[in-house]
Amino acid sequence: MSEIIISPSLLSANFLQLGKDIEMLNQSEAQWIHIDVMDGVFVPNISFGMPVIKHIRQATKKVLDVHLMIVDPDRYIETFAAVGADVITVHYEACTHLNRVIAKIKENKMKAGVVLNPHTPVSLLKDMICDLDLVLLMSVNPGFGGQKFIENTYNKIAELKEMISAKGSKCIIQIDGGVDGKNAKKLVETGADALVAGNYVFSSSNPMQTISELKNCK
């Protein structure tokens, strides 16, 4: 099995010392950095946007994994490419023309993924799975860090894994929300390839070690 991708979520970082937190991530075993963009419409919270991402890009060579919790994300794909995103994930629930949005992300030379909220069935992706680089399964309702992990996520991972292999897709499975040292191993054993972790990493007294433990959890 290939290496598990760890994508610490900056939503739980200290925004007053963001540069310091990114430097810690640069020194860590995390391969990706997860960036949660929220518009206060699709989710009941507002986070940060392009100017902040532009500065993050200057501070790291890690893969910038941008999770768009915004309505009509197709309006901003070129702009996120311009500020340095490497991966963009858009919500199934936020896109009327999902196929078109995914194509636009790829045209802009980024990896493209679809996010499913906890209530959205995996089966809805069966006609798209071969076009995707990743699927992000939300294991909490999006909008906030530090929420409780939803156990049904394991069933969704298993179903998605089966779909990916049946269709011969190269798509990877990412999990976001409530990931910690207790559930990481089971998530990976069930089929997760990439884990997002915000609160668990940034509330740790030794975030670098916590990242290493998550990465080596299997």
Exposed / middle / buried, residue 204 (Cβ in 10 Å: 0-12, 13-18, 19+): middle
The region of 58-66, 140-148, 167-175, 210-218 touching ligand DX5 under the rule CB under 6 A is: 140-148
Active site residue: 39, 74, 133, 176, which one?
176
Residues of this chain, 154-213, that bind Zn ion according to CB under 5 A: 176
> What whole-number distance in Å separates Cα of residue 149 and Cα of residue 162?
22
* 91: contact with ligand DX5 by CB under 6 A: no
* 105: contact with ligand DX5 by CB under 6 A: no
> What whole-number distance in Å separates Cα of residue 206 and Cα of residue 96?
42
Whose tokens are 């893969």? That residue is 63
- 36 catalytic, yes or no? yes
* 178: contact with ligand DX5 by CB under 6 A: yes
Strands 32-38 and 63-69 come out as parallel
Binder among 65, 90, 101, 143 for ligand DX5 (CB under 6 A):
143
* 11: contact with ligand DX5 by CB under 6 A: yes
Binder among 6, 30, 35, 36 for Zn ion (CB under 5 A):
36
By a kind-dependent CB cut-off of 5 to 8 A, residue 147 interacts, out of Zn ion, ligand DX5, none, with: ligand DX5
Answer yes or no: are the C-beta atoms of 45 and 77 closer than 8 Å: no
Task: Starting at the earlier edge strand, list the strands of the sheet with 172-176.
Answer: 5-8, 194-197, 172-176, 134-138, 111-116, 87-91, 63-69, 32-38
Q: Which residues bind ligand DX5 (CB under 6 A)?
A: 9, 11-12, 34, 36, 67, 140, 142-147, 176-179, 196-200
Catalytic residues: 36, 176
Q: Which residues bind Zn ion (CB under 5 A)?
A: 36, 67, 176
